[in-house]
Homo-oligomer: A and B are copies of this chain.
Amino acid sequence: MKRTFDCVEFCKALSDPTRQQILEMLLEKEMSVNEIVAAFSVSQPTISHHLELLYQAGLVLRRKDGKQILYRTDDQQVYFCCGKLIAKFSPADK
């Protein structure tokens, strides 16, 4: 599977507490936007904005299911990115 990696984009995607929580939630289960909204105290457009950002960074996957859009964390990609991060800043890997 071909993957791209932009280390700054990856870290920016994780540099907000709401996005980190979303990503963590979506590790466990696929959820619709409304379900995610229900778990936070910010508006639906704000959640959609965070989801779009995570999607652009390649950290979540999404699919349409009727009226809903279901999101889930791309845990393989997240793992891949964490590996790249370690490789960049801990090359010796003590």
Contact = CB atoms under 8 A, between A and B. Distances in A.
Interface on chain A toward B: helix, strand, loop, or mixed SS?
A: helix
Interface of A: 7-8, 11-12, 14-17, 20, 23-24, 27, 73, 75-76, 78-79, 82, 85-86, 88-94
Nearest to A18: B8
Contacts of A91: 27
B15 A89 contact: no
A88 B24 CA distance: 8
Given A11-B14, A15-B8, A23-B89, A82 B79 contact: no
A7 B12 CA distance: 12
Nearest to A23: B89
